[in-house]
């Protein structure tokens, strides 16, 4: 191992570079998460197009099965992209992953339907979802590491929170597009051709993201480590050989538990849940989700900046406690059938969840040194996403169908919040320390 110092001096980033780097990170995250999230928003229509012979409820379950399958390829994407990101640089891999997901998403928009080619249509749909999952597996840890390693000391939480704003704005964009098209075209035309349009928007989004990312330099931390000869030859092997890093990867697996009930249930699954289980119209369900996405986008930077002041643990623990207490009452508000009360319940949960999603990634970045950060952080986080995130919509539809209890998402919110709280209690807060290179 190289003798690169474990602690590095704080670095100063000029405002122009900071804006350029933040834009590159956020545009890429926006494109990636739009491409990934639009699949969930279009679940009902995709079910009718690719599984027309199944009953409505089964159609949705089959689409969410395809949604879940892609998550099990995220760890593979994290391993391969993380290894290369720690070996050849963050910037190159961030260009690659956005290219891959843009091609895969656009290809979904060009797929023949079940009526045209039969069972081959859903098989191709799932294959393209696998490519999307692989790409997203290399995106989150790479983009967050990229932003954090460029950020000036004392502002890492704020800088990385901008990427989370981009991720939720991408979901908001997907929600509004799905709502507008569903309302404007109607079910028949959506199933005929309208469903293709949101996926084909990946083309201009991808081109924009690739252009911006190709024009930026790699991070000061990675460049410094490379010049000092301190790059790891096998980052994951090194991570697994250290008790400290094994423990950190385990924490990276369990701290994001709340993502399952927050990101993947409260936002991705909510429109379908409200339509199929609570009997709201599709547009009403998308409206509630859109409003909560505005609320969380406004709250995230405040949570990121707050974590820079008081530490990551306090903000994350506070969010977990609040979700455990408010999860069930908020879902009861959503379940009243009243749109205004549903918006209130969803927005309260969104603001609470901002304390988790706005801080979680910078805490995970700070768990690992630069020489293996992309690999180790990516593996732990993406295994967590596969086990507790991507399966969440499928699990919710299954549990509701088996029990008849539409409050299952509320119970899931409480359980995952408690799990996150326990895991966070085991973390050393490094908010006020420089990032380690080795």
Contact 299, 359 (CB under 8 A): no
**In the predicted model, is pLDDT for residue 3 greater than 50?**
no
For the purposes of burial, counting CB atoms within 10 Å of the CB of 413, is it exposed (0-12), middle (13-18) or buried (19 or more)? buried
Measured in whole angstroms, the distance separating CA 170 from the mean position of its chain's CA atoms is 11
* Sequence-separated contacts (24+) of 237-246 with Cβ below 8 Å: 238/1, 238/371, 238/372, 239/368, 239/372, 239/375, 239/376, 239/379, 245/368, 245/372, 245/376
Provide the pLDDT confidence category of residue 305 given band limits of 50, 70 and 90: very high
What per-residue confidence (pLDDT) applies to 60? 64
**In the predicted model, is pLDDT for residue 429 greater than 90?**
yes
Contact 273, 409 (CB under 8 A): yes
User: 118 or 317: which carries more pLDDT confidence?
Assistant: 317
**In the predicted model, is pLDDT for residue 69 greater than 90?**
no
Contact 280, 339 (CB under 8 A): yes
Provide the pLDDT confidence category of residue 5 given band limits of 50, 70 and 90: very low
Alpha helix (H) residue ranges in 10-73:
15-41, 43-50, 56-71
């Amino acid at each position: 191992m190289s003798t690169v110092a474990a602690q590095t001096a704080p670095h100063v980033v000029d405002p122009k570079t900071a804006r350029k780097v933040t834009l590159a990170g956020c545009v890429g995250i926006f494109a990636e998460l739009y491409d990934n999230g639009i699949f969930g928003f279009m679940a009902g229509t995709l079910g009718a197009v690719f599984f027309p012979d199944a009953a409505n409820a089964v159609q949705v379950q089959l689409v969410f099965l395809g949604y879940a399958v892609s998550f099990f390829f995220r760890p593979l994407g994290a391993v391969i992209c993380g290894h290369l990101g720690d070996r050849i640089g963050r910037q190159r891999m961030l260009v690659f992953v956005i290219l891959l997901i843009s091609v895969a998403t656009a290809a979904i928009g060009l797929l023949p339907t079940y009526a045209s080619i039969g069972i081959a249509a859903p098989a191709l749909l799932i294959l393209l979802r696998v490519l999307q999952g692989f790409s997203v597996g290399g995106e989150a840890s790479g983009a967050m590491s990229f932003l954090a390693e460029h950020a000036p000391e004392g502002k890492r939480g704020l800088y990385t929170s901008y990427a989370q704003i981009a991720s939720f704005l991408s979901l908001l964009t997907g929600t509004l597009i799905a709502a507008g098209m569903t309302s404007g075209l109607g079910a028949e035309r959506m199933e005929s051709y309208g469903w293709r349009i949101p996926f084909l928007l990946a083309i201009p989004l991808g081109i924009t993201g690739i252009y911006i990312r190709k024009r930026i330099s790699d991070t000061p931390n990675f460049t410094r480590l490379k010049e000092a000869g301190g790059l790891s030859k096998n980052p994951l092997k090194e991570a697994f050989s250290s008790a400290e890093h094994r423990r950190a990867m385990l924490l990276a697996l369990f701290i994001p538990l709340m993502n399952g009930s927050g990101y993947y249930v409260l936002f991705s699954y909510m429109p379908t849940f409200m339509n199929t289980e609570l009997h709201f119209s599709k547009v009403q369900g998308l409206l509630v989700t859109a409003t909560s996405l505005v609320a969380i986008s406004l709250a995230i930077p405040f949570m990121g900046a707050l974590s820079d002041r008081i530490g990551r643990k306090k903000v994350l623990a506070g969010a977990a406690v609040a979700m455990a207490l408010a999860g069930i009452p908020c879902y009861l508000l959503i379940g009243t059938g009243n749109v205004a009360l549903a918006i209130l319940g969803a927005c309260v949960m969104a603001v609470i969840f901002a304390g988790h999603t706005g801080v979680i990634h910078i805490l995970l970045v700070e768990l690992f040194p630069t020489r293996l950060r992309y690999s180790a952080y990516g593996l732990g986080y993406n295994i967590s996403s596969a086990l507790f995130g991507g399966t969440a919509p499928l699990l919710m539809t299954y549990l509701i169908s088996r029990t008849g209890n539409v409050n299952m998402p509320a119970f899931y919110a409480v359980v995952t919040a408690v799990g996150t709280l326990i895991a966070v209690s085991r973390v050393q807060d490094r908010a006020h320390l420089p990032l380690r290179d080795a």
